[in-house]
Chain A
C-alpha cells in the first residue's frame, strides 16, 4: 500500500500532525465543561426569539451586507478574471484573498469606523480575489470550439458573450450562489468586531451566558441559510441587489482625513515615523519577528496541520452518514441535518462557542475547524459516493466502506482536503482574535494597543504564509494528479 503516492502523502501529513500534537496546547481547562455544553444545548432547545429588539434588524443587515459585498466582489472578480492570465493580476488576487474578511474589517474600522463601507469592503475585497481565481478557472475550461466557428470580424465582446459565457453559465451561477452562502457567514461574523450584523448580538448573548438568546440567533441563521433556494430566485435577484444598499444602516459618517492619516502616519513603522530612519527599522523588525511573528507563525502552522488531519478524519467518518450505500432514510436524513449544521456554522462562531465552554486552548479551534470543514467535504464526498454503482454482490458494512468506497473516493477526498488547506490556515490565523496564540492574537494585540504599524506587518506575514500554503497545496495536488472542480 505504501507504494501509492496518495497513501504516502497521507501518512506524512498524519505524522506531521501527530508530532504537532506533542507541541500543541490541547486541554480542557473549564471545570465543568459538560454542564456548560448541556446548558448550551438546552438553550438551543428553548430558544428565545424575543430577546433583543435588534435581532430582526441584525438579520436584515446580515443579508444586506452579504448581498452588497458579494455583488461588488463578484463584479470586480469577473473583470479581474478576464485579465487573470497576467502575472501581476494573479499575484494581486492571491494577496487580497489571503487576508481574511475579519482582518480587512479590522483595518477599515481604523479609518472608516462604523460606516457601512467597512463591512461592504471587508467582504468585497477578499471575495474579488476568490471570484477572479475561480471564474478564470471556469472560463478556461469552456469549450473553445464555438468561438472558432464564428465568422471573421466578430467583435471580441460579442464572441465572449455568445460563445464562452453560455458554455460555463451553469457553473458560474452555481459557484456564485455558493459564494452568496459564504457571504452570509462572513457577514454574520463581522458582527464580532462591532458591525451591526448577527455576530454582534451573538457575541453579547454568548459572553453573558444567555444561551436561549444565542440559540434563537443560531436557529434563525440556519433557517436563513437552509432556505436560500426558496428566497434567492433569479427573478428576485435584481430586487435584492438594488435594495440591499438601503438596508446597510447608517453607521457613523466617514471623516476622510482619517483615511489619509492611516496611510501616511499610522501604518508607517514607528522608527521611520519618529525619524530614526533605517537604522532604527531593523531592530524594530527584529523584535517584532522574534517576539510576535515567529511564535505566531509556529502556532498557526501547528494548529493548521492538526486541524487539517482532524478534518480529514472527520470527513472519512462523516460521509457514510449521507451515503446511499449505508443505512436507511432515517439515518441519512439525520446525517444530512448534522452536516448542514456543521457546515453552515461559521468556524469562527463554532470556535467561539467551544472556547466559552471548554476554556482556552487549541482544542476548541481544532474541533471547530474539523467540524466545519469536515462538514463541507463530507457532504461533497457523500454525494459523490451516491453516483458510484456497486455490484449486487458487493461486500456489506465495514468491508464495503473500507474496500469499496474509500479507495474509490480517496483521490477526490485528498483533492478537496488540499484545496481547503489554505482556507483552514486563513481561519486558524483569525481564530487568534479569540485568544489562541496564532498570528491573529498578535494582530489583535497590536491593534488593541493602537500599533497599526505592527498590525500591518503581522497581517502581511499572515498573507505570505497563506500564499505559501496555497502554492504548496497546488504543487502537491499537481504531483499527485488530483483534480477538483471549483465548487468547494
Chain B
C-alpha cells in the first residue's frame, strides 16, 4: 500500500520534472538586466499586465541575471519577446531566423552614453573624451551591454588607439548601469560609462550625489533599446499575433509605465535600424 503510494508519487514526480509546466501558450517575455532588479520587476510586471489585457492572452515576465541569459532564453524559445539593448538585440536576432525588432522608444533612435567621473579625479565636462582619463580606474556596465560596454569601448579605442585594458590602470564590469553609478559615486572606480537615461532618471529622483560624481563627456547618438519578437510566434500564437503585439506596444500610453523606462513613447523599429550597432560590434570583435 505504502509502496504503491511511494511508487505513484515517484512516477508523478519524475513526469513533472521532465514534462515541466506545459502551460500551453503562455506568452513569455524577458528583458536585459540593465538596472536594479526591483525596479525592473516592477516595470515589467506592469507591462505583462498591460499586454495580457491588450492581447487577451496569458503574458508573463521572467527576470534573468545576465544579458546572455536573456539572449539564450530568446534563442531557445523559452521567451518569445524581449526588451533588448542594441547589441543584445543584434546578437539575439542573428541567432533566431525570422525574428524582428518591432518597437523602440523615441529616445532609442539617438541614445547616448555618459562618461562619468568621481570628483577626486578633478575632471570636468568636455566636448570629447578627456585625455586625462588615461591611467585612471574604469568600469564598464555589463559585458554584453551596448551603452555600458560596446559604445564606450568603441570611443576609447577611437580616442586612444588602444584597448581599454592598456588605457586604464584597472578595468572592471560593474554588471549594470545603476551599479556603475554607485561605484563611481563612491570612488571605487574613478571613471565609468553608463546609459544616459538611467543617469537622468536617477538625477531627477534625487538619487545622485552631484558633489561626488559628474558627467565628463556625452557621446554622439546611436540606436539602442528595442522590443524584439521571434519569427515563429504567428505560427504558435495565431495569425497576426506579431502585429497585435506591435500594436499593443505602440499604443502604450500609460504615463507611469512609460516613465519607468523612461521613454516618452514607443515607435516602430526594424532590424535595419540596428545595422550601425552590428558594424561597431564586429569592428571591436564582440561579435563574429
Contact assessment for A242 and B37 in the assembled complex, using a CB-CB cutoff below 8 Å: no
Chain B interface, >50% SS class: mixed
Contact assessment for A208 and B66 in the assembled complex, using a CB-CB cutoff below 8 Å: no
Binds B, one of A28-36, A338-346, A385-393: A28-36
Bound complex: CA of A115 vs CA of B73, how far in Å? 11
Q: Does A220 touch B at the CB level, under 8 Å?
A: no
Bound complex: CA of A113 vs CA of B173, how far in Å? 24
Chain A residues lying within 8 Å of B164, measured Cβ to Cβ, are none
Bound complex: CA of A249 vs CA of B212, how far in Å? 44
Question: Looking at the complex, which one of B12, B78, B187 makes contact with A253 (CB distance below 8 Å)?
Answer: B78
CB distance from B29 to the nearest CB of A (A): 12
Question: Looking at the complex, which one of B23, B71, B175, B187 makes contact with A31 (CB distance below 8 Å)?
Answer: B187
Q: How many A-B contacts at CB < 8 Å in the complex? A: 124
Q: Does B20 touch A at the CB level, under 8 Å?
A: yes
Q: Does A194 touch B at the CB level, under 8 Å?
A: yes
Q: Does A440 touch B at the CB level, under 8 Å?
A: no
Question: Looking at the complex, which one of B17, B64, B189 makes contact with A29 (CB distance below 8 Å)?
Answer: B189
Q: Which residue of chain A has the shortest Cβ distance to B64 in the bound complex?
A: A194
Chain B residues lying within 8 Å of A117, measured Cβ to Cβ, are 17-18
Chain B residues lying within 8 Å of A298, measured Cβ to Cβ, are none
Bound complex: CA of A114 vs CA of B72, how far in Å? 10
Contact assessment for B71 and A113 in the assembled complex, using a CB-CB cutoff below 8 Å: no
Q: Does B1 touch A at the CB level, under 8 Å?
A: no
Chain A residues lying within 8 Å of B77, measured Cβ to Cβ, are 255, 258
Known: A31-B186, A360-B172. A245 touches B28 (CB 8 A): no
Chain A residues lying within 8 Å of B142, measured Cβ to Cβ, are 448
Bound complex: CA of A111 vs CA of B188, how far in Å? 37
Q: Does A238 touch B at the CB level, under 8 Å?
A: yes
Chain B residues lying within 8 Å of A242, measured Cβ to Cβ, are 6, 9-10, 13
Q: Does B287 touch A at the CB level, under 8 Å?
A: yes
Bound complex: CA of A457 vs CA of B124, how far in Å? 44
Q: Which residue of chain B has the shortest Cβ distance to A273 in the bound complex?
A: B288
In B5-47, the 8 Å CB interface with A consists of 6, 9-10, 12-14, 16-23, 28, 36-38
Q: Does B159 touch A at the CB level, under 8 Å?
A: no
Bound complex: CA of A270 vs CA of B69, how far in Å? 21
Bound complex: CA of A120 vs CA of B38, how far in Å? 27
* Chain A to chain B contacts (Cβ below 8 Å), 30 pairs: A29-B137, A30-B186, A109-B69, A117-B17, A117-B18, A192-B65, A193-B65, A193-B66, A200-B65, A207-B37, A207-B179, A209-B182, A242-B9, A242-B13, A246-B13, A250-B21, A252-B20, A252-B62, A252-B73, A252-B78, A253-B78, A254-B20, A255-B78, A258-B77, A435-B172, A448-B66, A449-B287, A450-B68, A450-B95, A451-B288
Q: Which B residues contact A (CB, under 8 angstroms)?
A: 6, 9-10, 12-14, 16-23, 28, 36-38, 62, 64-69, 71-73, 75-79, 91, 95, 118, 137, 142-144, 170, 172-173, 175-176, 178-179, 182-183, 186-189, 286-288
Per CB-CB distance, the 8 closest pairs between chain A and chain B, nearest first, are A31-B187, A250-B21, A245-B13, A194-B65, A252-B78, A448-B143, A359-B188, A113-B78
Q: Which A residues contact B (CB, under 8 angstroms)?
A: 29-32, 36, 109-111, 113-117, 120, 192-194, 200, 203-204, 207-209, 238, 242-243, 245-246, 248, 250-255, 258, 270, 359-360, 435, 444-445, 447-451
